[in-house]
């Protein structure tokens, strides 16, 4: 069963807030690498990191609810190439040491995570539009005797299903009662 419009709105709010906080965090890390100047005190940095880590599971749920592709980080081929992480909580603090290249600040994965968020937010917006459009359509539920309710069944098929279900129940009861 799909999520309601309110749940999708919550996903959009969570992911939007997370994106803003995380983008500021990554920008501060990049600035510290380039200039050597820390934007925040050690305590403030730890507080922001903790806030982001606490928000990551809800943001990950929003990313997965979007249905849009998300980042899967794999190990290098010479180390086996297996999946290293495929959830947001594991990826947001996947900050490298820069390796042999002095220009590399180790923020490649966090930048990739940030680059994917607009498309995930866009997918959530599309789902919200579809859910809201669905909510404005008249509901087409027709009861059937055997199977319960079907959604989006044209009236003629619903009527035939009701008659067929009724006929099946009457035939069964008649056979059990030895009426014919």
C-alpha closest to that of 68 among 128, 4, 9, 127:
127
C-alpha closest to that of 12 among 49, 70, 20:
20
Q: What sign for the dihedral angle of Cα 11, 17, 20, 21?
A: negative
pLDDT value at position 100?
47
Q: Which residues of the chain have pLDDT under 50?
A: 1, 99-100, 138-139, 141-142, 144-146
Quick check: 56 and 22 in contact, CB under 8 A? no
pLDDT value at position 121?
94
pTM: 0.68
- 114 burial class (0-12, 13-18, 19+ CB within 10 angstroms)? middle
């Amino acid at each position: 069963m799909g999520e309601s419009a309110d749940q999708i709105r919550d996903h959009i709010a969570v992911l939007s807030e997370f994106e803003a906080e995380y983008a500021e965090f990554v920008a501060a890390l990049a600035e510290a690498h380039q200039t050597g100047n820390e934007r925040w005190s050690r305590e403030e940095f730890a507080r922001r990191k903790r806030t982001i880590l606490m928000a990551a599971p809800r943001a990950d749920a929003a990313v997965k609810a979007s249905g849009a592709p998300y980042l899967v980080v794999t190990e290098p081929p010479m180390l086996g190439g297996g999946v290293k992480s495929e959830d947001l909580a594991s990826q947001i603090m996947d900050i490298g040491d820069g390796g042999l290249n002095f220009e590399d600040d180790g923020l490649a994965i966090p930048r990739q995570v940030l680059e994917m968020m607009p498309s995930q937010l866009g997918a959530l917006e599309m789902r919200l539009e579809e859910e809201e459009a669905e909510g404005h359509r008249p509901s087409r539920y027709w009861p059937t005797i055997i199977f319960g309710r079907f959604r989006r069944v044209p009236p003629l098929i619903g009527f035939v299903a009701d008659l067929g279900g009724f006929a099946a129940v009457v035939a069964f009861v008649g056979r059990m009662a030895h009426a014919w």
